[in-house]
Structures are given as C-alpha cells and as structure tokens.
Structure 1
Amino acid sequence: MLDHTCGHLYRCVSWSLTLRGLRTQALDQLREVAEGLGARLMPARSRGTPFECGVFGCIRRAYVEVRYGHRYRITSEELA
C-alpha cells in the first residue's frame, strides 16, 4: 500500500505541474521526475545511506515479485 500511495503522490505532482501523466510503475523513476518538477519533495526521502538503498531495493523487489509471481517469500533475516 505504501508503494501505491507514493506512486500516486508522484503522479499527482506530474499531472498538476505538467498536465500529463507518467506511464511507468517504477517508483524510483516516478520519484526522479516528481522531484525534478517540485524540489520541495526532495527532503521527503533520505538520500541514500547503504542501508536505506538496500531497504528501498528490498521493497521494490518485493512489490515486483508479488505482483507478477505469487510465490515471493521474505526471510526473517531480510526483515531484520
């Protein structure tokens, strides 16, 4: 749900400022476009310590694998 909420936010920024939508579902691409249009969005996310990049990658991988393949499992080590 968090992934969808963020995606909708970034799409709304694009629609509001350019009057056109973005076709991608990739959250990182949506974020880049939206932050380019509205610099005030940049502080909303941290800028990438290795841990934060890893967490974002884990969320993105989980979203894609659950959406297209229903066998995704995450281990307790990955959650920790």
Structure 2
Amino acid sequence: MSFWNKAFDVAKNAGTSLINEIESNANEIREIKSKYENKSDEELIRIINNDSFFASQSKKEKGVAFGILKKRGYSAEDIKA
C-alpha cells in the first residue's frame, strides 16, 4: 500500500469518526430540546442560572434552555436577570 493510500485511509477514518461525533451531539441536543420544550419559563431560567458546583445541567442543556426562551420572546437581559 502506498503512502497516499494510507494517508487517504487515515483521513477517511478521521472524517467518519468526526461525522459520528457530530451526529451523536445533534441527537443529544434534539433529545434535550424535546424534553425542555414542555418546561415552564421559570424552570428554564432556573436551569440557565444554576451555576452551583452541584448543578446537574451541562452547557448543552443550558444552551438549549436559552434558545427555547429566546424563541419564546425573552431577551438575554431578561434571562440573566
């Protein structure tokens, strides 16, 4: 096998791995969004503003909650207040 064939295989494997990771993240965000769309505004604001050491929400979850509130008409200032 030539150098270029090996280089192509490495690049192909890296690309496949990256695509799988992106799909996994997209699926996780879809699941979070589906779960959070039924929550009240107050619950979503609590999720975003909970910065305690023991907070169970990830940055993805906080980002999804923020996006839902923005869609509902809240401004960034309203959410962070």
Give TM-score, length-normalised by structure 1.
0.25
Largest Rg, 1 or 2: 2
Give TM-score, length-normalised by structure 2.
0.24
- Greater relative CO, 1 or 2 (CA 8 Å, sep 6+): 2
